[in-house]
Structure 1
Amino acid sequence: MKKFLMAISKVGLAIGILAMFGCSKGFTVKDSLTAVEAGDPIDRTVNLGSISESDGLIYYTVDRKLYQRKYDWTERTLVSDKPVASFQIVGEWIYYLDSADGGSLYKMRNDGSENSLISDDSIGAFAVSGDTIFYSTMLSLDELNATKKDLNEGKSSDKITEKMVTIDDLYRIGTDGTGKVKLVSDGTAPQVFGDWVYYHNAAGNLFHMKADGTEQSKIAEQALVLHESGDYLYYTYSEPINDKGEEKIFLYRMKLDGAEASEVWAMDRVVYYTFDDGYFYYGLGKDKGGLYRMNLDGTNSKKMNEVGIYSLDGVAGDWMYTTEYEGPTFRVKLDGTIGVKLD
């Protein structure tokens, strides 16, 4: 964001002042929060990939280093200078992918101690459930180049599709690195709900299976994003409607075992969306900014703020995370009044 250091006109000066104090984003950026502003920490762990909230602390990555702050945004602490790509907090452990080590999976204590390797596979996504980890691998650079060459030459390949070029296999392994078992070929993005492991194939279709790899079955075609609420899992299907990034979103729900799948509602012109704690959050292309929230059954839609959002990284309780285009990430109050910068 440009700061106007010299302003010839009053308009230019006003813009410069707004940019300096962060108001041009639609919210005021603060260095720290009062107890009232911070509010109470959420009573659950939320993992958003490169951001997590757990036990009243916020963990996040900047420049491939992992930091921790208190809920009022004080006491910035370097947890690890390991090149963390994405991570999940489960209990007292942080599980993460090392971007400098080809996506190998490691774990460390929440304070950064006891760092150890779990798997040296090149991993794209993983999910931790108890003392078990489910993870999907990516093609190595040599494999990727070779299979791309096959596609360009019109040859078939069981490793690659035009839809998604990096999916390989889905494995199960213990959190101590033992007991590695291959469960599925062509599977990625594992998520665990109840006794079932859900995953996607290269075509974007949604499958589930038991933890031992048995009872594999396709649930839906071109399905995205799973969210558990009550006795149901919610997932989406999207259709592009124009070249502006707007989509028509269909929300479906089903029992945890995949039974009783049905459409809940459909919505036009959605540009970004996410789930949190039984709510659906979204933005619409007809607006210049802002975030809406509604119940999963489609009732009680409410506009929460007018913040200009380029990328919605997730919602955790009363806060949302949003990243500017080629810029920093902010943690912003859902009412759009204040925010803090992840630095």
Structure 2
Amino acid sequence: MYYTDTKAEALYKMKTDWTGKTKLADNFASGYMVIQGDTIYYSDMGGVSKIQTDGTGAENVVDIGKESSYGFEVSGDWIYYSTKPGSIYKVKTDGTEKTKIADISSFEGDMKVSGETIYYADGTSLFKMKTDGTGVMKLSDNAVIHAVEGDWLYYGEKNEKGEYENVNRMKTDGTEQSKLAEGTFTSIDGDSLYYSKNDWLYRANLDGSAAAKMNKVKMWNILDIYGEYIYYGEYSGAAYRINLDGSNKKQFE
């Protein structure tokens, strides 16, 4: 597991049995990381940087200058990132071949990259395009992207209050749209879909079937669901791990 201590502004790693805790880097306050192989890509004030999982080789890859960034995705040898008010770029993971892909008038950072396809929101509508900016295709209205898994795209909707609701999915070509559950998307882990409803966490098959309540634990921010554990943060800022049924709570230290 790789995680940050925001108070100490440091990056740590630890085995999943909670042994072998090691500090990898100081002056590390990033709240968003993507781990690919032996490399950690992370957001910083200058754009996107990378560091090896042993703590060596820290360097900036994307310098956005005075622009503000929405975030980034890593797919293969490319980093895809967006800047305000609505430009999407790609750059090689070694920092070369920076290319603007598209300018999108009503883009607000809602984007997922899978293979050679970018799924993104333009206003309240969901679109996709190739990673070279061609082949733009509208998939749906009023859709918020949650995840892309294989041939399926999982998404939610926004109600009049601006709140996310419902868990839906469609084929990545926009067909076979269906509502899987009422509630809010949480995570996908393997063959399981997790979502919250009425303060309960549910687990279901990826098609929404066999839904079952897992626990009723106050989790301000679910960081990840991996195997039989949930990693989450509370309002206090502390982070914990619990079993899926809510038992065996343990705090990160």
Which bracket does the TM-score occupy, shorter chain normalised? 0.7 to 0.9
Q: Distance in 2 between matches of 1:31 and 1:206?
A: 34
After TM superposition, give the deviation of residue 171 of structure 1 in Å: 0.4
Contact residue 66 and residue 78 of structure 1 kept, 8 A: yes
Letter matched to residue 181 of structure 1: M
In 2: Cα distance, 1:180 partner to 1:106 partner: 16
Q: Is the Cα contact below 8 Å between 2:238 and 2:251 reproduced in 1?
A: no
Select the structure that is richer in strand. Answer: 2
Residue 282, structure 1, aligned to residue 229, structure 2? no
- Which of 173, 183, 188 is matched with 1:212 structurally? 173
Instruction: Determine whether 1:96 maps to 2:52.
Output: no
Equivalent of residue 85 in structure 1, options 60, 67, 70: 70
SS of the equivalent of 1:86 reads: strand
CA contact (8 A) 2:11 2:23 kept: no
**Structure 1-normalised TM-score?**
0.58
Partner of 1:309: none
Which of the residues 270, 285, 289 maps onto 2:219? Answer: 270
1:64–1:24 distance in 2 versus 1, CA, 3 Å: closer
Q: 1:125 aligns with which of 110, 119, 127?
A: 110
- Alpha-carbon shift at residue 266 of structure 1 (Å): 2.6
Is the contact made by 2:183 and 2:195 (CA closer than 8 Å) also made in structure 1?
Answer: no
Contact 2:31 2:43 survives alignment (8 Å): no
Describe the SS at the equivalent of 1:269. Answer: coil
Displacement of 1:182 in angstroms is 0.5
Deviation at 1:108, TM superposition (A): 0.8
Deviation at 1:93, TM superposition (A): 0.7
Q: Gapped runs of 5+ residues in structure 2?
A: 14-19, 25-29, 160-164
RMSD: 3.1
Deviations 1:287-316 (A, max 9, x none): 89451232x4x27624143xxxxxxxxxxx
The verdict on how the C-alpha distance between 1:37 and 1:228 changes in structure 2, with shifts beyond 3 A counting, is closer
Q: Size of the alignment, in residue pairs?
A: 227
Q: Is the 8 A contact 2:12 2:21 kept in 1?
A: no
Q: Contact 2:101 / 2:131 at 8 angstroms: preserved in 1?
A: yes
Residue 137 of structure 1 deviates from its aligned partner by 1.9
73-82 or 274-283: bigger deviation: 274-283
- Structure 2 distance, partners of 1:118, 1:56, is 27
Task: Provide structure 1 residue ranges, at least 5 long, that are not aligned to the other structure.
Answer: 1-22, 41-47, 139-167, 240-247, 306-335, 337-343
Deviation at 1:38, TM superposition (A): 4.3
Amino acid at match of 1:253: A
| Amino acid in the other structure paired with 1:182 | K
Structure with max Cα Rg:
1
Residue identity matched to 1:110: T
Residues of 1 paired with 2:237 and 2:125: CA distance? 41
CA displacement 1:26-55 (0-9 Å, x = unmatched): xx666999xx65499xxxxxxx98321122
Alignment of 1:230-269 (within 5 A): 231-237=191-197, 239=198, 248-254=199-205, 256=206, 258-269=207-218
Q: RCO (CA 8 Å, sep 6+): is it higher in 1 or 2? A: 1
Q: Does 1:76 align with 2:58?
A: yes
C-alpha deviation, 1:70, in angstroms: 2.1
Q: Secondary structure at the match of 2:174?
A: coil
Compare 64-73 and 202-211 and name the one that shifted more.
64-73
Alignment of 1:185 with 2:130, yes or no, is no
Instruction: State the 1:185 CA deviation.
Output: 1.1
C-alpha distance 74-188 of structure 1, shift in aligned 2 (>3 A) = same
Aligned counterpart for 1:57 among listed residues 39, 48, 52 = 39
Task: Indicate how the Cα distance of structure 1 residues 39 and 49 shifts in structure 2: closer, same or farther if over 3 A, else same.
Answer: closer
Measured after TM superposition, the shift of residue 225 of structure 1 is 1.8
CA-CA distance at 1:76 after TM superposition: 2.3
Contact 1:50 1:85 in 2 (8 A): no
Between the aligned residues of both structures, percent identity stands at 32
